[in-house]
Amino acid sequence: MTETPSKPEKTKRPHHVFTLLVEVGRKPGDGLPEDASGAALMCYSSGVDEEEAVRETVAILRQADMAVLEVSGYGTLEERLAEGHDIDDEERALMERARAENAVIVAQTTVLRE
C-alpha cells in the first residue's frame, strides 16, 4: 500500500479587530435621512490584517447600498492604547464582539449635512 502524502495543515492566523472610520456618500436606498449629504461610520472590523478588515467592511457596506467614499484606519486595540487613546468598556465590548463573531460592527453613525 502506498500512502498519499497528507496536505500540510493550514495555520490559522489570528484575527485582530481594527477601528475604521468610513465616509459614505448618497445612494438610493442607503437609509440615510433625505437631507443628509452622507455619513461617517465608526466601525470595528475583524481581519488577519487591516487590509482584509477594510475589504470586508467595504463589501458589507456596499451590500447595504452604502456608497463608500473613503476608509481611514486607526489600528487595533493594542495600537490605539499605545497611542494613548482612551477606550471605554463599551467600546472594548464591541471590539470583542467583532472578534468573537468575525464580523463588522457599525458602532456609531454620524449623519453629514451640507
Interval 47-79: pLDDT, tens? 999 999 999 999 999 999 999 999 999 999 999
* Domain housing 27: 16-112
**Cα 65 from Cα 80, distance rounded (Å):** 30
| 10 in a structural domain | no
- The domain total for the chain is 1
Residues 69/38, Cβ–Cβ less than 8 Å: yes
pLDDT digits (tens, 9 = 90+) for 66-113: 999 999 999 999 999 999 999 999 999 999 999 999 999 999 999 999
In the predicted structure, residue 23 carries a pLDDT above the cut 80: yes
Read off the DSSP letter of residue 64: T
Rounded to whole angstroms, the Cα distance separating 31 from 100 reads 27
pTM for this model (two decimals): 0.86
Q: Residue 4's pLDDT band (boundaries 50, 70, 90)?
A: low
Would you say 97 and 103 are in contact if contact means Cβ atoms under 8 Å apart?
A: yes
In a domain, residue 31? The reply is yes
Provide φ and ψ at 80, rounded to 5°.
Answer: -65, -40
C-alpha cell at 70: 473613503
The CA distance from 71 to 20, in Å, is 7
Asked if residue 1 belongs to a domain, the reply is no
